[in-house]
Amino acid sequence: MKAVSARVTRGIHAGSIINCADNTGAKKLKVISVMGYKGRRRRMDSAGVGDVVVCSVVEGDVKMRKQVVKAVIVRQRKEYRRLSGIRVKFEDNAAVIIDDTGKPKGTQVKGPVAKEAVERFSSIGKIASIVI
């Protein structure tokens, strides 16, 4: 995984309900854990834009519900600062479901995608409609 150019503030915790921004059939995801998170005892996992999270599908198609999937955070409500000094925040928290190799399962992404997520996962940028 490539390093992200911005210092992303981690605004999504374990237990958060986030939107699914692709067309896999899932609508809402519940964050179970964050891949690669090493924390202190009793501290909750936290993730930001571009991080890989393990989620459970809470709402969506009958085939997708109750499945455990990996996803990449593409939008977060908590603002973060880019190196240029600009601060970025989105309307909602959203993620794109990926497979074990890091390729997205869906064929299109709804809504904008953060540049930091595309830097780390270029295949998400190929199917995104807009990158901010």
What are the pLDDT digits (tens) for 72-114? 999 999 999 999 999 999 999 999 999 999 999 999 999 999 9
Q: At which residue do the structure tokens 């074990």 appear?
A: 100
What are the pLDDT digits (tens) for 32-65? 999 999 999 999 999 999 999 999 999 999 999 9
Q: Give 79-130 as a 3 state SS string.
A: CEECCCCCEECCCCCEEEEECCCCCECCCCEEEEECHHHHHHCHHHHHHEEE
Domains of the chain (ranges, CATH numbers): 12-131 (2.40.150.20)
In this prediction, residue 1 carries a pLDDT of 67
Question: Which DSSP symbol is given to 77?
Answer: S
**What average pLDDT does range 16-34 have in this prediction?**
97
- Are the C-beta atoms of residues 94 and 19 closer than 8 Å to each other? yes
Confidence at 6, pLDDT banded by 50, 70, 90: confident
Higher pLDDT: 32 or 1? It is: 32
